[in-house]
Amino acid sequence: METIADNIARLRERIYNRALKAGRKADEITLVAVTKTVDSDRIREAKDAGITAFGENYLQEAREKIPRVGGGVTWHMIGHLQTNKVKYVLPLFSMIHSVDSFRLAEEISAQAIKRDKKADVLIQVNSGRENTKTGVKPEELPQLLEAVSSLKGITVKGLMTMPPFFSDQEKARPFFTTLRELRDKLFPFFSDSLSLAHLSMGMSSDFEVAIDEGATILRIGTAIFGGRK
Ligand SMILES: *Cc1c(COP(=O)(O)O)cnc(C)c1O
């Protein structure tokens, strides 16, 4: 039977090979292991196999699992976040990938200031303009960035997207390209107040083309932990 450690070894090899092919360095790409529905024993197996960053969609699950998994790792909030949950999320997570409104950004900033820190966030872009997905539309991004840049308690570290699902990952490429082009276009403009360096994009089914298009953070669940119920 394949173990989680086997899956991680194989995944790292695929990431390494693809980065090489794309003329990039694999060590500039952070692998975030997505743990929704995965229990803490299996998460610890991944930690023992060298994973240092985990991603969770749900606060409730994270609250139970984070203490059981223990130190030496960071947690990324990758799921849709309600404003009233922000105060619980901040102490547990080192980065929030799913900021998609000024109201949410404002609350994150306010809560961070209360704690005397700055929160690292990514802005989620709905690159496929799907009604079922959260995130700002690409054309709304400049305005949101400008508004958010005035908030003292957050640093925008980059952009995140989740394209529509395709069985052929090549079809996801244009959505990743869109995210990279937005970053490249807006980065110089906002670089005084924001640090738009990161592109959080690429999941189990499409991370290889995401690497081609410049992903710096991959969010991968199934390829590590197997299918979810
Ligand atoms: C579940 C999830 C992932 C990981 O998806 P896999 O296909 O299991 O790799 C990545 N990002 C987000 C936002 C998710 O909800």
The 10s digit of each residue's pLDDT in 56-94 is 999 999 999 999 999 999 999 999 999 999 999 999 999
Q: How far is the CA of 114 from the centre of ligand 1 (A)?
A: 31
User: Whose Cα sits closest to atom 12 in ligand 1?
Assistant: 78
Architecture of domain 4-225: Alpha-Beta Barrel (3.20)
Domain boundaries, the chain: 4-225
Q: Does residue 220's CB lie within 6 angstroms of at least one atom of ligand 1?
A: yes
Reply yes or no on whether the pLDDT at 194 is more than 60: no
| Residue 2, helix vs strand vs coil | coil
Reply yes or no on whether the pLDDT at 191 is more than 70: no
Each residue's pLDDT tens digit, 12-62: 999 999 999 999 999 999 999 999 999 999 999 999 999 999 999 999 999
What pLDDT is attached to residue 162?
Answer: 96
pTM of the model: 0.96
Query: What are 128's two structure tokens?
Result: 């496929």
Share of the chain above pLDDT 70, in %: 96
Mean pLDDT of 202-211: 98
Q: Work out the pLDDT band at 228, boundaries 50, 70, 90.
A: confident
Q: Which of 8, 11, 30, 34 to mutate to test the pocket of ligand 1 (most atoms within 8 A of CB)?
A: 34
Atom of ligand 1 nearest to the CA of 57: 15
Q: Work out the pLDDT band at 224, boundaries 50, 70, 90.
A: very high
Residue labelled with tokens 């089914």: 205
- Helices and strands, counts by H and E, the chain: 9, 8
d(CA 66, CA 70): 6
Enter the DSSP assignment of 136.
B
Q: Does residue 78's CB lie within 6 angstroms of at least one atom of ligand 1?
A: yes
Q: Does residue 200's CB lie within 6 angstroms of at least one atom of ligand 1?
A: no
What pLDDT is attached to residue 133?
Answer: 81
Enter the DSSP assignment of 101.
S
Pairing of strands 119-125, 95-99: parallel
Query: What are 31's two structure tokens?
Result: 């692998």
56 DSSP β-pair partners: 77
Mean pLDDT of the chain: 94
